Structure 1
Amino acid sequence: MKTILNTEEIKRIGNKLKTLSQKNNHKETIEEIKKNIKKHPRWADGYSLLGDIYISIAHYEESYSAYSKALELDPDNLQWKLSLLLCQLEIGRDVKHALNELLNLFIKNADDEAICIKIASIMVSGKNPKITIAAIKWRAQNHKNSDVLSGILANQLLEAGLISEGCKIYLNLFDSSPDGVLYAPQLGVALIRIGAFQACADIVEALKAHSPETAALMLNEYGIALAALNRSREAQIVLREYLHTHPESRAAKFNLGQALLKGAQYQEGWELIEFSPPEFKIQGVKNPWKGDFPIDGKTLLLYGEQGFGDMLQFLRYIPHVEKLGANIALSVPENLKRLCQESFPNIEIIETDFKKIKYDYSCSLLSLPLALSSQIGYEIPSSVPYLYPNRDDIEKFSKIFGKKNKLRVGLVWSGENRPRHGLNYKNRSASLQMFSKIINTKNIDFISLQLGNPQKELLQWNEKEIFDPMNDVSDMEDTAALIFNLDLIISVDTSVAHLAGALGKPVWMITRSDCCWRWLEDQEDTPWYPTMKIFRSQPGSLHHAIELVAEALPDFVTTWQQNS
């Protein structure tokens, strides 16, 4: 049974929910729906409304549960089924099955373009553009695809790396569609996701002369592109211009924050970086602390967000929090627990599922620069080391290496692949073969610090010997103890580069020309890690930076030999 409320009840509840939603009062809206569901447990529309609200605030687990209940009561509702599948993709639950089900629904409803548009839009969340491309191209064999479906196809072609084909469709939409101008921002977003920053900037700069209204729609993407092209000052101007006409845009505020941080303008940068996208945030934390009130004697939950590198980078702020007198509970992934306990023995290290933990206030590690600004200012605490591996583990790996005769250099050539971050994220990684010029440097014992699928590249490696101790590594504490026994770490922009820097070990980081905000612009050093040297590549790949490292390494060997 879909609806079991009478007309009067529907009208009353509807009016109340409308009032709450107009005020963007999600919490009370959810409570009101739940209250009425409790009275009417077979109210399928109520569960659907609950799912809608949760989706709007990116609480996909809760939304999934709500739609599941709605479909138990009304299993034939296609719209609810599609919403459930969207949640399934967003939380990464059996993605392959969800995409197959969406593909079947797309084929079954091929005659209904509105349904096909919705399904294709949901399929995009599955981060498998080839499936979406195949579906839309299949439909085009028997139906004329609308401009909207063509726009989705163009976007997915760019995501799949088929840049020429995707841009061609967008250009056709510009010329043929009465709403062609509206596709300019979509093209900008797609170009940003694949790392075609110069192409995005070129398009906007061309549009400024011929269609300033269209260019104005793309200023947010233009600002991102300029910052990536190491033109952060210009990016700040452009993003402020966009915010002048779109003052509520959280995305633009976040992008401006990144441009400011890349330009070493930390005060406003830390404030605006708080507008990070929902997918970067941990859900379910309560009572946020931003440094605006005392926490002496209170329990403060500190928790990590985003990747391991981000967490390692911001752990440096914990000693400053300790001085405020709070009882600290630090929530980090299992892989970081031992290292954090060894480095910060006076705080409690807890699991990432902290729903059962009692605490008074909470703060993300990445929010600590802002929260502590009144105590330590906005400059970066750059004292290293601030992480310390266990001495017994250091000794354990020392014995594995045996007698030292040559310079020991650790290598990491690839970072974790994160499809959600777009095709360009892959460009931070190299291959073992690309590192061959580095590895051929004489008088060095090379040690692999590589984990994940790229570690398998060692099985096909037939050149100079590389010692691989990573099967004896169980977590980041072991990795730290291993690094402690090395003289130099050469790594792409991944967590090991952060770890080496936090340990105060010499580290040469190989990164893209369009690297992220933390490495600033056009300089070899970084305020984050005094022992780090940055090798920046030219646009395209990491080959240029790798060549620079190979050229510099013999001098490092000579200096080490002279000082040994």
Structure 2
Amino acid sequence: MTSPTPQTVQDEARALYHLGLKEKAEGRLERAIEFFDAALAAQPDFPEALCSGGYILQTTGHYDGALAFYGRAIELDPGYFDALFNRGCLFFALGQLDPAVADFSRAAAFQPKDAGAYSNLGAALHQSGRLAEAVDALRRALELDPALVEAELNLGSALRRMGREDEAHEAFMRAALLKPDCAEAYCGLGIVARARGEFREAFDYYDCALAFDPTLEEALSSKGSLQLLLGQFEAGWEGYESRWVDGHRPVPVSDARFDLARPETIAGKRVLVVNDHGLGDTIQFFRYVKLLSDHGADVTFAGPAKLQRLLSTCGAKVSWRDTNDFTGTFDARIAISSLPRAFATVEDSIPADVPFLSADPERVAFWRQRMPGSGLKIGLCWRGSQDFRVDPRRSPPPATLAPLAALPGVQFFALHMDVGANELPAAIASRIHVFGDGFDRGPDAFVDTAAVMANLDLVVTCDTSIAHLAGALGLPVWVTLRHIAEWRWMVDRETSPWYPTMRLMRAKAGDDWFELFERIANDIDVLAQEKEKY
């Protein structure tokens, strides 16, 4: 009996492969994978069968197997567009953005006329924070196919995050024209309008988005945040409950309500409070944890261990546990940022008794010895998170601090754990004392920062956790803000209902940081002269 020739084996494998494609097209995936497996048994080095098998594994949730199939197909044929594209999609869905970018880049290089490859590349670059590259890729996708709504949406989002509001508005408008019922497009237009200070238009766009999709969390959250910005607290807290876009909600929305006028709603209740945002939010809203404890609730806090030492200075009786540990029996499970809603907070009822945190006396004395000299002592924080998702534009460009360099009779202290060698202009860098490696390097966050702050006359900080810390410590603090700031700082006011010792320093329209720091320098000069008199 003669052995089958290589061509016969190849023909048999290809026939099995085509049978698998037919079963796949008709929705019989299990049968399709049987044919693909048979084809691979006959011819193991069969890129098309590997890719098709990988796709079925992907759609049925067998991600590791899918990646293995795609990887082998690409090994056999490094220019195999479908395998690169599919694997890029899977990496993107799994949040593995760097390999997704690599696969989409290779796919686009092999088929430079494929709009989908550039669109997906732009989406992956956008999610990676590589915004300028994302804009280039998305514009290329739209040159190839002007009808790609998703590319327009991603382009608008990337441009918005870069502060290019006019271009973002145009992209979202094009998306709305392409798909008149596109809720995401109207939401994007609303976010751009808010950034411009066009609040009435923003509300109209959000309402339009919600008319098309009443469950769109980004529109609900954005509208709620705008209501909070404008002091419409009751409605705003409801929308704010949708702030966990993309399914990152740690616990379900809680129906718990705590009424200080009705002790039975608090006393004896077992409450699990879950941390859900950054360190600044935790500091700001921990006042409500103290309220629960002070009024007889049995409180457990699932939050970052590094904040326990600082937050425990509020005197609340709280059981601490790991951030992700939600086990146990409780009367209520609630995110810490949802506590203002649970307490029905309005502007006049914000619990703003400060200080509600305190610095460690031993650390205060320790750092006092390292801060000798007379004159006005000011702590500076000019940089918050650079994560593009939390708006790094809240941080003023370091060059804008230059007016502070000319101030006589003032000592400046950096409230950063690290300061780059060339981060600041030379003139101001030479004036700022940096504490070095021993500053807040232990397991407890902000312990040294709080102690240093206690030895200062003033803290000047951008919108970051340092602002909340200084406010919670009841210290004089000036917060530098964009013209239209984050919701908690509201609009057109110099004071904060959350922190009585805080002064809000807003940039003028267009976020002119240079002009703002010239004003700040003038005001500091007045303080320095006043201190010299005493």
TM over 0.5: yes
Aligned to 2:518, which of 538, 547, 554? 547
User: How far apart are the structure 1 equivalents of 2:138 and 2:480?
Assistant: 39
* Residue among 347, 350, 372 paired with 2:321: 350
Q: Which residue of 2 aligns with 1:103?
A: 105
Aligned partner (choices 243, 252, 266) of residue 233 of structure 2 = 266
Q: Distance in 2 between matches of 1:135 and 1:541?
A: 30
- Of 371, 384, 388, the match for 1:419: 388
Query: RMSD in angstroms over aligned alpha carbons?
Result: 4.3
Which structure has the larger Rg?
2
Q: Deviations over 1:192-225 (max 9, x none)?
A: 32323466679999999x9997999854334323
1:529: which partner in 2? 499
In the aligned structure 2, how far is the partner of 1:518 from the partner of 1:462?
A: 30
- 1:517-544 CA deviation, whole Å, 9 max, x = no partner? 1111111111111111111112144112
Three-state SS of the structure 2 residue aligned to 1:275 is coil
Counterpart of 2:286, as a letter, is: L
Q: Percent identity?
A: 23
Q: Secondary structure at the match of 1:491?
A: strand
Which residue of structure 1 lines up, in the alignment, with residue 375 of structure 2? 406
| 2:92 corresponds to | 86
Distance 1:555 1:393, change over 3 A: same
| Range that drifts further, 462-471 or 365-374 | 462-471
Matched, 1:232 2:199: yes
Question: 2-side partners of 1:108 and 1:401: how far apart?
Answer: 61
| Structure-2 separation of matches of 1:444 and 1:99 | 49
**Cα deviations by residue, 1:266-314 (Å, 9 ceiling, x for unpaired):** 011011111114258444x468453289575454322222322222211
* Aligned residue-pair number: 471
Aligned to 2:162: 194
The unaligned stretches of length 5 or more in structure 2 are 1-15, 32-52, 74-81, 259-263
411, 427, 443: which one aligns with 1:445: 411
Amino acid aligned to 2:144? N
Q: Which moved more, 1:191-200 or 1:445-454?
A: 191-200
Report the counterpart of residue 337 of structure 1 in structure 2: 308
Change (3 A) 1:455 1:324: farther
Question: Shift in Å at residue 72 of structure 1?
Answer: 4.7
Which amino acid letter does the alignment assign opposite residue 350 of structure 2?
A: I
**Structure 2 letter corresponding to 1:255:** S
Distance 1:213 1:150 in 2: 11
C-alpha deviation, 1:454, in angstroms = 4.8
Could you tell me which amino acid in structure 2 is paired with residue 196 of structure 1? R
Give 3-state SS (helix, strand or coil) of 2:310's partner.
helix
Task: Give the aligned partner of residue 31 of structure 1.
Answer: none
State the Cα distance separating 1:319 from its structure 2 match.
1.6
Q: Deviations along 1:235-265, whole A, 9 cap, x unmatched?
A: 3355335434543332222121111111111
- Residue matched to 1:315: 286
- What amino acid maps onto 1:434 in structure 2? T
Q: Take 1:308 and 1:128, find their aligned partners in 2: how far apart are those partners?
A: 25
Residue 357 of structure 2 is matched in structure 1 by 387
Q: Aligned AA for 2:90?
A: L
Relative to 1, partners in 2 of residues 1:134 and 1:104: Cα closer, same or farther, differing over 3 Å? farther
- C-alpha separation between the residues in 2 aligned to 1:522 and 1:496? 22
Q: Counterparts in 2 of 1:116-265, with a 5 A limit?
A: 117-129=119-131, 131-132=133-134, 145-147=144-146, 152=151, 183=152, 188-197=156-165, 219-233=186-200, 235-265=202-232
CA distances 1:461-505 after superposition (whole Å, capped 9, x unpaired):
576532212532222122111111111001111111111111110
The CA distance in 2 between the partners of 1:297 and 1:378, in whole Å, is: 27
Indicate conservation of the 8 Å contact 2:221/2:242, yes or no: yes
| Aligned residue number for residue 162 of structure 1 | none
Cα distance between partner residues in 1 of 2:60 and 2:120 = 20
Q: State TM-score, norm by structure 2.
A: 0.74
What letter is aligned with 2:481? T
Distance of 1:479 and 1:555 partners within structure 2: 26
CA distance in 1, matches of 2:149, 2:252: 42
Higher helix share: 1
* Equivalent AA in structure 2 for residue 514 of structure 1: I
Matches of 1:337 and 1:531 in 2, distance apart? 24
CA distance in structure 1 between the partners assigned to 2:120 and 2:156 by the alignment: 22
Distance change (3 Å), C-alpha of 1:289 and 1:11: farther
**Whole-angstrom CA distance in 2 between matches of 1:188 and 1:508:** 33
State the alpha-carbon separation in 2 of the partners of residues 216 and 137 from structure 1.
Answer: 22
| Aligned residue number for residue 67 of structure 1 | 63
* Structure 1 residues 376-423: Cα deviation after superposition (integer angstroms, max 9, x where no partner): 997321111111222222222122223x521211011222201234xx
For the 8 Å contact 1:198–1:229, the answer to whether it is kept is no
Residue 364 of structure 1 aligns to which amino acid in structure 2?
A
> Is the 2:104–2:118 contact (alpha carbons within 8 Å) kept by the matching residues of 1?
no
Question: Which secondary structure does the structure 2 equivalent of 1:504 belong to?
Answer: coil
Measure, in 2, the Cα distance between the counterparts of 1:106 and 1:212.
26
For 1:226 and 1:136, the matched residues in 2 are separated by 22
Distance 1:211 1:68 in 2: 37
What amino acid is aligned across from residue 408 of structure 1 in structure 2? K
Q: Distance in 1 between matches of 2:288 and 2:368?
A: 30
Q: Measure the CA separation in 2 of the matches of 1:235 and 1:70.
A: 43
Q: For residues 321 and 275 of structure 1, do their structure 2 counterparts lie closer, same or farther at Cα, with a shift above 3 Å needed?
A: same
SS in 2 for 1:434: helix
Distance 1:342 1:127 in 2: 37
Shift of 1:45: 8.0
User: Hey, what's the Cα distance between the residues in 1 that align with 2:495 and 2:245?
Assistant: 32
Task: Select 1:278's aligned residue among 241, 245, 255.
Answer: 245
Q: Is this contact kept in 2: 1:290–1:367, CA < 8 A?
A: no
Deviation at 1:373, TM superposition (A): 1.8
Tell me how far apart the structure 1 counterparts of residues 195 and 396 of structure 2 sit (CA, whole Å): 19
Separation (CA, whole Å) in 1 of partners of 2:348 and 2:56:
48
Change (3 A) 1:256 1:137: closer
Say whether the 8 Å CA contact 1:236–1:256 is kept in structure 2. yes
**What secondary structure does 1:535 align onto?**
strand
| 1:412-448 alpha-carbon deviations (Å, 9 max, x no partner) | 1222201234xxx232223444212123212111111
Contact 2:414–2:434 under 8 Å retained in 1: yes
Aligned pair in 2 of structure 1 residues 479, 295: CA closer, same or farther (>3 Å)? same
Measured in 2, the distance between the counterparts of 1:281 and 1:492 equals 27
Asked if structure 1 preserves the Cα contact closer than 8 Å seen for 2:210 and 2:219, the reply is yes
TM-score by length of 1: 0.71
Q: 1:201 to 1:527 in 2, by over 3 A?
A: farther
Q: Does 1:428 align with 2:384?
A: no
